[in-house]
């Protein structure tokens, strides 16, 4: 597995790289957003650790450009801990966000969790049609083997986290999944002050699967409980 570590603080990048290499990952370094874009085009990257504050091209803009071409997991790293900064990072396409200084062991755990979802995307109940794993409800279809999503007759692109959430909800259309259930199933850890994170991903999914995201037909919120896919 190739992991791109992008941070203009070379000491932090080096330290992160050492921990990842101990886990058997191949680490590629970049020290600004432009170098990160070049590394993504040159190498088969499976996950990116992206600092936000960098010269030439910051992490937010670099993530936006990467998301135009790739849906690989991106974990934002930043000294900024305010909710606004986290939401901004998630809004532009990051899958997770860690605040500096961070525990290297937690970082490695989150990397492993993101890669598990990216490569395997969990084990859920499946409908099998001619040997293919398919989830279908109304105009939303997931071809799980191909990781292909059709919404309202058009193929769409989702990040691994978005894919995991949508697939979970599609396993039981009509069922309300609590935020705890969603987070523990998709992120693989206990929910802790991450309601905003889930809400941002839900909003991004709506923008991709709904004809009118402000009046969603499929992805509904059940206030105070969680989210569901309306059954058709």
The domain locations on the chain are: 2-119, 127-229
Q: What top-level class would CATH report for the domain 2-119?
A: alpha beta
Residue 141: φ, ψ to 5°: -130, 130
Q: How far is 173 from 92, CA to CA, in rounded Å?
A: 28
Q: What is the pLDDT of residues 106-150, one digit of tens each?
A: 999 999 888 887 765 533 334 344 456 888 888 899 988 888 899
| Statement: residue 82 has pLDDT above 80 | no
Work out the pLDDT band at 81, boundaries 50, 70, 90.
low
Q: Are 152 and 211 in contact (CB under 8 A)?
A: yes
Q: What top-level class would CATH report for the domain 127-229?
A: mainly alpha
pLDDT computed for residue 206 by the predictor: 93
Q: What is the pLDDT of residues 45-75, one digit of tens each?
A: 999 999 988 888 999 999 999 988 888 899 9
Neighbouring-strand partners of residue 132: 129
Question: Mean pLDDT: which of 34-38, 83-87, 97-101, 197-201 is highest?
Answer: 34-38
pLDDT computed for residue 18 by the predictor: 93
Q: Are 73 and 160 in contact (CB under 8 A)?
A: yes
Q: How far is 232 from 218, CA to CA, in rounded Å?
A: 9
pLDDT computed for residue 191 by the predictor: 77
DSSP characters for 48-102?
A: EEEESS-SSS-HHHHHHHHHTT----EEEEES--SHHHHHHHHHTT-SEEEESS-
pLDDT computed for residue 146 by the predictor: 81
pLDDT computed for residue 127 by the predictor: 39
Same fold? 2-119, 127-229: no
Q: What is the pLDDT of residues 3-45, one digit of tens each?
A: 999 999 999 999 999 999 999 999 999 999 999 999 998 998 9
DSSP SS3 for 168: helix
pTM: 0.62
């Amino acid at each position: 597995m190739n992991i791109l570590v992008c941070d203009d603080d070379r000491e932090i990048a080096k330290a992160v790289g050492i921990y990842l290499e101990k886990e058997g990952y191949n680490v590629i370094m970049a020290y600004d957003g432009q170098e990160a874009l070049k590394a993504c085009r040159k190498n088969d990257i499976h996950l990116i650790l992206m600092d936000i504050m960098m010269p030439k091209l910051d992490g937010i803009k670099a993530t936006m450009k990467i998301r135009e071409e790739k849906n690989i997991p991106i974990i934002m790293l930043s000294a900024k801990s305010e909710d606004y900064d986290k939401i901004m990072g998630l809004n532009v396409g990051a899958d997770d966000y860690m605040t500096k200084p961070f525990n290297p062991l937690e970082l490695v755990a989150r990397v492993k969790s993101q890669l598990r979802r990216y490569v395997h995307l969990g084990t859920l109940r499946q409908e099998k049609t001619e040997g293919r794993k398919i989830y279908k409800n109304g105009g939303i279809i997931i071809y799980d083997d191909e990781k292909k999503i059709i919404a309202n007759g058009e193929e769409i692109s989702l990040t691994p986290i978005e894919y995991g959430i949508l697939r979970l909800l599609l396993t039981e259309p009509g069922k309300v999944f609590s935020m705890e259930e969603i987070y523990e199933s998709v992120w693989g850890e206990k929910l802790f002050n991450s309601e905003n994170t889930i809400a941002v991903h839900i909003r991004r999914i709506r923008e991709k699967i709904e004809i009118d995201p402000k009046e969603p037909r499929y992805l509904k919120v059940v206030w105070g409980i969680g989210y569901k896919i309306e059954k058709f």
